Structure formats: structure tokens, C-alpha cells
Amino acid sequence: MRFGWFVLLLLSFPVLEAIGIFWMADAIGGWVLPWLLLDAIAGVMLIRTERVALGARLLFSVQSGAHPLATLFASGRILLAGGLLVFPGFISDAAALLLLLIPGTWNRRKADPLRPANDDVLEGEFKREPDDLLR
């Protein structure tokens, strides 16, 4: 029964988007078409730039010691927002805007206080002793 509600919601989404487009066209007139066209272009550009930047961000997060899954979730959020922008409608645009406005600072932590210090490094001075003293 739960699956039926999910399918109904999924199938009613394009209908709700079409109703939203008609309401906005009634409110703002002919500006709806340029709005939807610019949204689609912005969505495609967002997907393209994130697709290129994903590898570099993932490499940087692994090199800096951060968890790569957080980077994947952040990039996935941006890709999902780009896909929602490509889909025509104002409900999907609002959802994409919410996804883009979620702060991503939790991904960019400077240092993890729970991670232990690197104990492999010994700090101090080094002085070589002459071989005569070692015999």
C-alpha cells in the first residue's frame, strides 16, 4: 500500500508542475518561458561543472584526511539540484534552490577533534656522533 502512494506522488508531480506553470503564467505573463529556459541552462551548467569538479574534490578530501563520503554527498546534492533545475516547473526550482542553499560547511572541517594526533613523527634535534665514540 505504501508503494502505491509513492507511485501516485511520483506520477502527480508533473501534473502539479504544469499547474504551477499555468498559475505563474497567469501571474507574470510571458516571462515564464525565459525563466524556464534560463533555469534549464543553469541546471545543465551546474551539472557540467560539478561533474568536472567531482574528481578533484574527492582527491582533495582524501589527501586532506576528510571522509570522502561527505564530499560525495555534497556533490550529489549539487547534481540533484542541477537535475531539478533542468526539469521544467517552479516546484522543482524551489526544491533545487533549497538544496543549493543548504550550507556545506560541515564538509570542510579544519581538524577533527576526535582524531588522534599523528604519533609517527618525532620532533627534536639530531646530531651525528663520530664513529670513534661508538667503538
pLDDT tens figures, 89-113: 999 999 999 999 987 644 444 445 5
pLDDT at 22: 92
Percent of the chain with pLDDT over 70: 81
Asked whether residue 25 is domain-assigned, the answer is yes
DSSP string, 93-123: HHHHHHHHHS--GGG--S--TTSPP-TT---
Asked whether residue 65 is domain-assigned, the answer is yes
pLDDT at 119: 62
Number of domains in the chain: 1
Domain interval for residue 67: 2-107
pLDDT < 70: residue spans in the chain: 1, 104-122, 132-135
pLDDT at 122: 67
Q: How far apart are CA 75 and CA 51, in angstroms?
A: 8
